[in-house]
Structure formats: structure tokens, C-alpha cells
Amino acid sequence: MKYLSVQETAAHLTACESAEILIHRSPDGDCIGSGYALLYALRQMGKKARVVCHDPIPERYHFMLPEVQTLELFHPELIVAVDVADEKLLGDGLLEQYTGKIDLCIDHHISNTEYAEALCLDGQAAAAAQVLYAVLKEMPVTITKEIAACLYTGLATDTGCFMYDNVSPRTLRIAAEIMEQHPDIPYAQINRNMFIVKSMGRIRLDQLLAGQLESALDGQCMLICVTRSLMEEYGLDESELEGIAGFPLQVEGVQVGIVMKEREKGVFKVSMRSADWVNVSAICQTLGGGGHIKAAGCTINGSAEEAKRILIDAVAKGMAKA
Amino acid sequence: MKYLSVQETAAHLTACESAEILIHRSPDGDCIGSGYALLYALRQMGKKARVVCHDPIPERYHFMLPEVQTLELFHPELIVAVDVADEKLLGDGLLEQYTGKIDLCIDHHISNTEYAEALCLDGQAAAAAQVLYAVLKEMPVTITKEIAACLYTGLATDTGCFMYDNVSPRTLRIAAEIMEQHPDIPYAQINRNMFIVKSMGRIRLDQLLAGQLESALDGQCMLICVTRSLMEEYGLDESELEGIAGFPLQVEGVQVGIVMKEREKGVFKVSMRSADWVNVSAICQTLGGGGHIKAAGCTINGSAEEAKRILIDAVAKGMAKA
């Protein structure tokens, strides 16, 4: 494995005749935007390119795809992974097919497992799209409207619309440059579809979750317990419950948000989130789990009431220590 | 009334010895941020300054206020309104006190009623904070951390965290400059408190509203009807229902969102919002109301069911015409 600079990466891509672009499973706005921005850039240079993903591209991201979906048959000279921190994130099937065969990875995850032969990594970048913008600027490529829309979507996705602490002055300036060169892209509409619009099912789920909020430790800890019986009552499956870990943190005054999901009878998979200063990784470690300072997890066995008591005790101790 | 350039406005402020800064009632992040940024700038230059508002500053904006709240007693040489499009927005009491006496207005509303003796207006600016940033850059003032936090908050507030179509490359570049000069401001935390965190009451209200959503015209129109009896049942008052007009638009596929509030028995105040291409101003005009293309309103008399039918018919006709 060798690290490539932005210039070396640009030269590598410019030299190839064809490329297969791999993005991670459960694709989001950043890997789709970055993957297709690279595809458009390579095609602009007369090269063959295709994007490969384990899962279908969700409909709200279809505006980034080529108008005519051509199935290009070619044997790729270069296999490039974009926004893929770990080969495993390619998903089953693709993992077996591509493991050990990836020539180049363009990424922004500091945790990148260095699986590719060459790696262009900027762990400070807010999004893969931010790294890719730098690479494309070093290639003989025009940032067309379609490339611009893809890169903007990547930047917006991974920053929560420029909200999170991964935003740097550079992130904002790239968005400014894109907007200046392409004032006719419907940025606000893209943001609305990504950040505001929800399916009716998701609205009903939020409504249900709001009804399950339980307050502990004078409102400093908010907890949601999703039992098997609740899931059965409302016909929820596991996949619908992805991404709800942050829900309790939206309540004013909360420091620690907990979501407990009953995986099987009496076994709770716990996600713990910190709003600010509480180290939830340390708390989850006392319960046999772990993770990041602001996002951690563990598994608790017992009844829902026992599990809640154990969790709240651990949070109280963790907060007292800090 | 005369229009002042940014430079003339800076000179005017630099020449004064003291200023009273007026902001609008129901103060938001932009008028508070802009008002206090100006206060800090003037005090930095050794001048006396105070901010005056009809309503108390909401707690989530308190981080922008001076640590020590000094009541400065002075007779202001200059009376400056910031982010106030119309004198009436000062609120009762202040309106009577200040009408005809405002020396300078710094604003970004194209609809400004030109009530001040001198007006520095940039109708293209996303926020008053964006205009104020330009003015402060022309004054012998350092953009300190406290000024930067105020201006950033103003920009973020009025753009929905850089989400809306009022964002320009300049808006993003000002945010980038501020962030570069003051990397130690907790931007993500400020955004979280403004855009994510909700009171438990607000969460309960959203939960209630989600339960009231009614779909019409194959889901292209979503409607919420808040009757007197619903308000009584849940103990809601009028003020709690401010800002709910956008709620139905978050549903996937919706083109027109309607919120009907029963003001008195059989009288419905209607807010209509458009997600994209439907002109709701034209629709509301057919019902005796009016407004902007994407945000309009009207009043309908009748039972809830009658009012709904009238509204949905009008929306269907308006959509068919377009």
C-alpha cells in the first residue's frame, strides 16, 4: 500500500483508459455524488467508466445519475473505491469479488483500513466529495453542471447541510465555488429532498418514537425502548429502525440519549449518544461495550425494566465521574 | 429617506458617539446576532451602545449576549434599526416610541418600507448579518470572537443552516472567513441548539400534528386541521402554533401543504405552502387571500369539512391550471 497525493491520484486517473468505481453498500449522498462525479469526469476525458454498488441507488439520489443509463461493457483497467473506509463496506458478493483487487481508494475516513494498492486519503476532509474536488481540479476536466451537483450533494450530505463539526472553511469555499460556477443548480431543492422530506412511514415512526421517550436523571438522559412487542404491534422491521439512535438527543437539555432495541427476547442492543461533554464510550465500556466518545454501544441482557435501570445507573456514574 | 452605501453606513456609525440598536419583536438569531455584533463593534471603538427589543431574548440565544449585562444610561446620538423591514415589527410600545425617529436602518428585506432617515439595504443578502459583516469590514473594528459568533448565528438562522435558496457564494465565503479566523467557536453546537434541539412540548406538538396529517389529491396535497376542540383537548394556545405552516411540506411527494387553524367557531385561518412549482398565492387569491408564490394564506368560513373541501377544490384547480 502506498499513499498518493492529490496530484499523483489525478495523474493516475488521467493515465487510465477505463475505470470501475466502487461505492459502499447502503449508498448515501456522498459516495453516490463522489462516485458519479468521477464517472462524469472520466467520460468527459473519453474514458470508459461505470459505478458499481451492492444496493440500488435510493430514488431521491436519482437526479445525480446519467439521464441515459448505458451498460458499458468493458474490462476495467483501474478499480477505484470511493468513500469506502473498509473493503467489508462493499457488501457481500462485491467483497469476495474485489478483495485484494482494488487499485486506488479515494477517501476521507481517518479509519481507512488501507486495503487498496494506492490510497488518496484526507482525514480532515468533511466528505469524499471534498477530496474528489481537489483531485478533479488537478485533472484536465471541466467541473460541469452534473459534476457540480454531485459534489455539492456529497458535501451537504456528510455535513448535515454544513451543520456538523467536520465543516471547515475549505468545505464552505468549495460549495461557494460550485455555486458561483453553476448558479442554476437547484441547491435548495436538493437540500430539501435530503434533509426535510420524509416518507409517511418515517413520519409515523418518528411519531411513535416521540411517544416512547422516557426521561431520566432530571431530563439529562432520554431513553427510547423498542421492544419486540412494540415492533410487532406497529409492524416495524429492523431496517426501518436504522438511524434512530440520534432521536433522543433532539430533546432540549439532554446530555445522553439512549435507544434500546430488543434483538431477541431479553437481549437489548443499546445505542448511546452524547450531546456534548459526556464520554459515552467510557460508559458503554463499563457495560462491556465501546465506541466513540459521542457515539457508543453495548448489549444488555434482562427485562426491559432491568436493562433500563442498568443503563441509567451507568450513565449517572459516568456523568458523576466527569 | 436616502440610501446609504456600505461605506457611508460604516462612516455614519464610526462618527457617532452612542447608539441605540433596535431589533424586531419575536427576535430570531439574525436580528439578535446582527444587533449584538453591532453593539460589540461600537463598544470596541469606545462608544456607548445598547440593544432594545420588545420581547425577551430566548434562552438559546443567550450565548450571544455580553457576559455582564450593564444597563448603560445614555441619551443615544443615533437610533439604528437592524433587520427590521417595517417599523410595525418593533412591536407595540416601541413603535409609538420610535416612529419617525429612526436615523439608520441596516436590512436585507427587499420589502423594507423605507421608514428610517437613512437605509443601508442589500435585498440580495441572505441575512442582516451578511450586510452587517460588509459594514463592519469598512469600520476600524476587529471581528472578535464574540462578533464572529453573532454574525455566524445570523447567517445560519436565516438560511436554515445554509439550506435555503437565499444562500449565495458570498454567504458561504463569509462563514468560511469567520470560521477561519475563529476556529474555536463551537459552530456545530450552535447549529445543534438552533436546528436540532426542541423542547419536549414542541416534540409532543409535532407528534400531535403528525397524527392529524390528511392526504388529498393522491398525496400531492397534505392538510392539517387544528380545530378549537383539538386545541382545548391538548391545551395548546395560539403562540405554540406559530411556525407550523411548513409541517405538511415535509411529507414525501407533497406539492401543497395546508394548515387550517380554527380562530373562532367556524372561521379557519389558512396557511398554504408550495414545495416547488405550484403558485399558492394565485390559489389563495381565488379564495379572497394572497401572499407570496410559495407561502400564502386566506380565511375560510364554514365547518371543518366544508373548509377542507373548498381548499382542496381550489388547490386541484390551481394545479390543473399550471
> In terms of C-beta density within 10 A (0-12 exposed, 13-18 middle, 19 or more buried), how is residue B299 classed?
middle
Q: Which of B161, B198, B213 sits opposite A250 (nearest CB)?
A: B198
Q: How far is A118 from chain B (nearest CA, A)?
A: 32
Q: Which of B170, B206, B276 sits opposite A189 (nearest CB)?
A: B276
Q: Residue A317: its pLDDT value, please?
A: 97
Q: Summarize pLDDT for B103-119 with one digit per residue, the tens.
A: 999 999 999 999 999 99
Decide: helix, strand or coil at residue A73. coil
**What one-character-per-residue DSSP string does B7-24 give?**
HHHHHHHHH-SEEEEE--
C-alpha torsion sign, points A76, A82, A85, A88: negative
Q: Residue B201: its pLDDT value, please?
A: 87
Q: Summarize pLDDT for A154-181 with one digit per residue, the tens.
A: 999 999 999 999 999 999 999 999 999 9
Contact at 8 Å (CB) between A32 and A40?
Answer: no
* Chain A contacts in chain B segment 1-60 (CB below 8 A): none
Residue type at B33 in one-letter notation? G
Q: Residue B181: its pLDDT value, please?
A: 98
Q: Would you say residue A73 has pLDDT above 90?
A: no
Q: Summarize pLDDT for A91-115 with one digit per residue, the tens.
A: 999 999 999 999 999 999 999 999 9
Q: Summarize pLDDT for A119-147 with one digit per residue, the tens.
A: 999 999 999 999 999 999 999 999 999 99
* Residue B238: band (very low, low, confident or very high) from pLDDT cuts 50, 70, 90: confident
Q: Which residues of A touch B186 (CB under 8 A)?
A: 165
Q: How far is A202 from chain B (nearest CA, A)?
A: 9
Q: Summarize pLDDT for A268-299 with one digit per residue, the tens.
A: 999 999 998 999 999 999 999 998 899 999 99
Q: Would you say residue A217 has pLDDT above 80?
A: yes
Q: Would you say residue A321 has pLDDT above 90?
A: no
Residue of A nearest to B177 (CA): A169
Q: Mean of the pLDDT values across residues A176-205?
A: 94
| Binary contact (B203, A213; C-beta < 8 A) | yes
Does B161 contact chain A (CB < 8 Å)? Answer: yes
Q: Would you say residue B220 has pLDDT above 90?
A: yes
Q: Residue B236: its pLDDT value, please?
A: 82
* Residue A318: band (very low, low, confident or very high) from pLDDT cuts 50, 70, 90: very high
Q: Mean of the pLDDT values across residues A55-65?
A: 94
Q: Residue B224: its pLDDT value, please?
A: 97
Q: How far is B255 from chain A (nearest CA, A)?
A: 11
Q: Residue B21: its pLDDT value, please?
A: 98
CA distances from A149 to A175, B1, B143, B169, B238 (A): 10, 43, 33, 15, 41
Counting every residue, how long is chain B? 322
Return d(Cα B189, Cα B199) in angstroms, integer.
16
Q: Mean of the pLDDT values across residues B206-216?
A: 95
| Binary contact (A176, B172; C-beta < 8 A) | yes
Q: Would you say residue A3 has pLDDT above 80?
A: yes
> What would the CATH number be for the domain defined by B200-321?
3.10.310.30
**What one-character-per-residue DSSP string does B219-280 give?**
GTEEEEEE-HHHHHHHT--GGGGTT-TTGGGGBTT-SEEEEEEEEETTEEEEEEEESSS--H
Q: How far is B176 from chain A (nearest CA, A)?
A: 4
ipTM of this complex: 0.91
| Residue of B238 and A60 predicted with greater confidence | A60
Residue type at B157 in one-letter notation? T
Q: Which residues of B touch A180 (CB under 8 A)?
A: 169
Q: Which position has the grid cell 420610535?
A: B98
Q: How far is A92 from chain B (nearest CA, A)?
A: 31
Does B250 contact chain A (CB < 8 Å)? Answer: yes
CATH of A2-195, one of 3.30.300.30, 3.90.1640.10, 3.90.228.20, 3.30.70.20: 3.90.1640.10
Instruction: Give the number of beta-carbon pairs within 8 Å between A and B.
Output: 116
CA dihedral A90, A240, A128, A80 (to 10 degrees): 20
Closest C-alpha among B191, B170, B178 to residue B145: B178
> In terms of C-beta density within 10 A (0-12 exposed, 13-18 middle, 19 or more buried), how is residue B103 classed?
middle
Q: Which of A187, A206, A207 sits opposite B167 (nearest CB)?
A: A187
| Binary contact (A167, B188; C-beta < 8 A) | yes
Residue of B nearest to A156 (CA): B163
Burial readout A289-308 (b: 16 or more C-beta within 10 A, e: otherwise): bebeebbbbbebeeebeebb
Contact at 8 Å (CB) between B138 and B154?
Answer: no
* Chain B contacts in chain A segment 197-216 (CB below 8 A): 197-200, 203-204, 206-207, 210-211, 213, 215
DSSP state of B103: -
* Residue B1: band (very low, low, confident or very high) from pLDDT cuts 50, 70, 90: very high
**Phi/psi at B263 (5° precision):** -75, -50
Closest C-alpha among B35, B237, B233, B211 to residue B131: B35
Return d(Cα B4, Cα B8) in angstroms, integer.
6
Q: Residue A68: its pLDDT value, please?
A: 77
Contact at 8 Å (CB) between B270 and B295?
Answer: no
What own/partner pairs with CB < 8 Å and gap ≥ 24 does B109-116 have?
Answer: B109/B83, B109/B85, B111/B85, B111/B86, B112/B85, B112/B86, B113/B85, B113/B86, B113/B87, B114/B1, B115/B1, B115/B81, B115/B86, B115/B87, B116/B1, B116/B81
Q: Would you say residue B71 has pLDDT above 80?
A: no
| B313 C-beta neighbours (distance < 10 Å), count | 13
Return d(Cα A272, Cα A249) in angstroms, integer.
10
Return d(Cα A43, Cα A205) in angstroms, integer.
42
Residue of A nearest to B185 (CA): A165
C-alpha torsion sign, points A62, A68, A69, A73: negative
Share of chain A above pLDDT 90, in %: 87
**Which residues touch B229 (CB under 8 Å, ≥6 apart)?**
none
| Binary contact (A173, B173; C-beta < 8 A) | yes
Q: Which residues of A touch B275 (CB under 8 A)?
A: 192
DSSP state of A266: T
Disruptive mutation site among B252, B254, B276 for chain A (greatest number of A CBs within 10 Å):
B252
As separate numbers, helices (DSSP H) first and strands (DSSP E) second, chain A gives: 11, 12
Closest C-alpha among B60, B63, B65 to residue B23: B65
Strands (E) in chain A, as ranges, are 2-3, 18-22, 48-52, 78-82, 104-107, 118-121, 214-216, 221-226, 256-264, 267-274, 290-291, 295-301
Does A251 contact chain B (CB < 8 Å)? Answer: yes
| Binary contact (B210, A191; C-beta < 8 A) | no
DSSP state of A321: H
Return d(Cα B61, Cα B33) in angstroms, integer.
9
Kindly list the domain boundaries of chain B, sorted by start residue.
2-195, 200-321
Residue A54 cell numbers, joined: 451492492
Q: Would you say residue B240 has pLDDT above 80?
A: no
Q: Mean of the pLDDT values across residues A61-78?
A: 88
Q: How far is A254 from chain B (nearest CA, A)?
A: 9
Return d(Cα B6, Cα B139) in angstroms, integer.
10
Q: Residue A242: its pLDDT value, please?
A: 77
Does B181 contact chain A (CB < 8 Å)? Answer: no
| Binary contact (A179, B167; C-beta < 8 A) | yes
**What one-character-per-residue DSSP string does A76-132 give?**
-SEEEEES-SSGGGG-TTHHHHHTT---EEEE--TT----SSEEEE-TT-SSHHHHH
Q: How far is B187 from chain A (nearest CA, A)?
A: 7
Return d(Cα A157, Cα A129) in angstroms, integer.
10
| Binary contact (A169, B177; C-beta < 8 A) | yes
Contact at 8 Å (CB) between B179 and B187?
Answer: yes
Vertex A199, ends A194 and A204: CA angle to 5°?
A: 130
Mean pLDDT over the full length of chain A: 95
Residue of A nearest to B153 (CA): A163
DSSP state of A64: G
* Residue B73: band (very low, low, confident or very high) from pLDDT cuts 50, 70, 90: confident
Does A189 contact chain B (CB < 8 Å)? Answer: yes
Q: Which residues does residue B28 pair with via DSSP β-bridges, in sequence order?
A: none
Mean pLDDT over the full length of chain B: 95
Q: Residue B67: its pLDDT value, please?
A: 85
Residue of B nearest to A179 (CA): B169
Return d(Cα A44, Cα A29) in angstroms, integer.
22
Residue of A nearest to B166 (CA): A188
| Residue of B149 and B292 predicted with greater confidence | B149
Decide: helix, strand or coil at residue B288. coil
Return d(Cα A303, Cα A229) in angstroms, integer.
13
Return d(Cα A80, Cα A20) in angstroms, integer.
6
Closest C-alpha among B170, B167, B140, B144 to residue B156: B167
Contact at 8 Å (CB) between B129 and B151?
Answer: yes
